[in-house]
Amino acid sequence: MPELPDVEMARRLLERALLGARITSAVGSDRVILRPGSSRTLSRIAVGRAVQAVERRGKWLRVMLDDGARLFSHLGMTGEWITAGVDEPSARFERARFEVTKGRSRRSIRYLDARRFGRLLATKDDIAAWRELGPDPLTDGLDVETLAAALGRSARRVKDALMDQTLVAGIGNILATEALWHARIDPRSRSDRLTPKDVGRVVRGLRNAIERQLTAREKAGGDEPRESFAVYGRSGEPCRRCGTSISRIVLGGRGTTFCAHCQERRGAR
């Protein structure tokens, strides 16, 4: 599942391709991706409009058009955006395509999605999914006191709470796992048992994990280099901090790796 760093890389690609460009064609070939809209709605709202901004909040992308309309994109599990020449044939798993002009240049911007869990919406106003998102760690920053108050109202496991998009936008299994390792907090800890100092460490851990993954993706051309992970996907390997074998459990239906020795547990469920 794409997380904040992956979606930020997609935003940067779209910004380079779309900012200041005019959309000359918009076609969506998949009703599942366009739900609850249609290819006709996509074309009616987007064609002829110039792109004024390409934004991201959490795992959502928002393309602002010059008349105030907007395009929303969620990558789901396997979605990605690519650029191509206008005469290039359809790519495998292509679900939507925009053709744009920018000066004398013409480009094709295409959305690919093998499993079709993504969404692409053309609207006149913001959608509820965008309005309900919590603060974005990269664009809004995270306030320790505000996050501590929110976590203090829940007895959920801290990893589950961090993945609540209304609490913190953009955090998924990988970032939560990595951030808690950096913070030395056991992912099974109860949210309401974390001290303000603990929450401060979690915030720093999130910043660290996001920065490391963005840097690694930039160097790798957008791919997800395994070496950028301190603990995620490293079950059975020695902890990079203390050497203890990394444990793996399932929390909320997701595989979770952590160090049982140097990640302290706060409160038992």
Catalytic residue among 49, 56, 59, 119: 59
Task: Look up residue 77 and give its amino acid.
Answer: M
Q: What's the rounded Cα separation, in Å, for the pair 179 and 210?
A: 9
Query: At a CB cut-off of 8 Å and minimum separation 6, what does 130 contact?
Result: 57, 60, 62, 72
Distance of alpha carbon 160 from alpha carbon 48, whole angstroms: 43
Quickly list DSSP for 225-269: -GGG-SSTT-TTSBPTTT-PBPEEEEETTEEEEE-TTTSB--S--
Q: Which tokens in the block code for residue 125?
A: 């106003």
Q: Of 3, 8, 80, 94, which one is the catalytic site residue?
A: 3
CA distance 209 to 246: 18
User: Is 145 an active-site residue?
Assistant: no
Distance CA 254, CA 258 (A): 13
* CA-closest candidate to residue 69, choices 127, 128, 139: 127
Q: Which pairing describes strands 22-28 and 94-102: parallel, antiparallel, or unpaired?
A: antiparallel
Identify the active-site residue in 44, 254, 265, 266. Answer: 254
159 catalytic per annotation: no
> What are 224's two structure tokens?
């997800």
**135 catalytic, yes or no?**
no
| Residue from 2, 5, 135, 187 carrying the catalytic annotation | 2
Active site residue 124: no
Strand partners, 92: none
Q: For residue 128, what are the CA distances in angstroms to 60, 94, 115, 125, 238?
A: 12, 26, 24, 10, 43
Instruction: Identify the DSSP state of 88.
Output: S
Active site residues: 2-3, 59, 254
